Amino acid sequence: MSHPEVKSKWFADFKKQLPRVDGKVFAVTGTTSGTGYVAARTAAQYGGTVLLLNRPSERSTKSLASLKEAAPSGTFEQIDCDLQDLESVRKAAEVVSSKYPELYCLSNNAGIAAHEDKATKDGYDVQMQTNHLSHFLLTSLLLPSLGRGAERHGEARIVNHSSDARKMVKKLEARYFEKRGGDLGGNGSGLSSPNFQRYSQTKLANAVFTQALHEKLAAKQSKVKVLACHPGASSTPIIDGLPLQKESWFLSLFKYFLQSAEDGSMGLIRCMMGEGVKSGVLWGPSGWIHGMYGPAVSIRTRPVEKDPEMMNMLWGKSEEACGPFGV
């Protein structure tokens, strides 16, 4: 399916509530379109310096030009970061750390959905590496910069972009974190397809990672907050690849309840910029089925997302892939 244009309903009023963020540096992955683009634009419009972590491409070049036009007084810097290449992530983190030693917010926004069963050059499932493992690595490498940013500003933030697809699997499975890309169920069509199951594993991983890191930092009385968000059913490019061809009844309803990328970005932006947000909380819409629609609100953490066994497994497998986290 392709994503249609949808008019925003809540974003204009939401934006009026946001504080200025002058002097604060935001690093955001996946800003060429969708919620990441809106978040980058908004942070810049409110005074932030925004680092755009994207793969080198014509899309990233065009989106940078568009962002500069939308926020002419904003400060942007494009930093090459290919989440399907762990070495590229390490290089990007080195650039960010050296040029911006006091980072206020790392927004782990980028993601892909329902891709074919294949491995990255590092051997991991392309969805798990893009959506979780590379963000785990990036967060680890930028944590010292975030710590210094927290000392300067009184707090810093890590934001992980999950999805309500996290609810479509009962628990995390270790095999999805291992070097088994291309050997994780094959491909298919529909919400029960292996493609979508792999995606759902990555989105649950985002939520579990948030809780695990929140607990570790809270135990050290860190001023770095860890939050998660979900966009609901938003009309962004990520839905173009969803395997919904056989769910015609669901597809009709899904299209009807789609919200705009701006409205879908409200949870992400609240986590990045909103006043008074608490660490360990997930923000997103709560309306209709599974929270697909509506203004962003705080969402109760589900037991599986803070289950010690799940957190320990995720942490161990992620460190096997990326190296020690150092927290």
CA proximity to 214, closest of 288, 134, 301: 301
State the CB neighbour count (10 A cutoff) for residue 17: 10
Q: Which of 46, 104, 124, 199 is catalytic?
A: 199
The order of strands in the sheet holding 156-161 is 75-80, 49-54, 25-29, 105-108, 156-161, 224-229, 282-284, 297-299
Secondary structure percentages of the chain, helix, strand, coil, to 5: 45, 15, 40
Separation between Cα atoms, residue 160 and residue 231, nearest integer Å: 12
State the CB neighbour count (10 A cutoff) for residue 34: 24
Distance of CA 114 to the CA centre of its chain: 16
Q: How far is CA 136 from CA 88, 209, 283, 313, 321, in A?
A: 14, 8, 20, 14, 10
Work out the angle between the directed axes of helices 34-45 and 58-70 (0-180°, nearest 10).
40
Separation between Cα atoms, residue 208 and residue 308, nearest integer Å: 10
| Residue type present at position 150 | A
Distance of CA 274 to the CA centre of its chain: 17
Pull the structure tokens for residue 187.
Answer: 């491909």
Tell me whether residue 203 is one of the annotated catalytic residues: yes
Pull the structure tokens for residue 230.
Answer: 């979900």
Backbone angles phi, psi at 313, to 5 degrees: -65, -50
State the CB neighbour count (10 A cutoff) for residue 282: 25
Q: Which of 46, 104, 124, 203 is catalytic?
A: 203
**What is the DSSP secondary structure assignment for residue 259, as one 8-state letter?**
B
Pull the structure tokens for residue 125.
Answer: 């499932």
**What is the DSSP secondary structure assignment for residue 229, as one 8-state letter?**
E
Tell me whether residue 15 is one of the annotated catalytic residues: no
Q: Catalytic site residues?
A: 199, 203
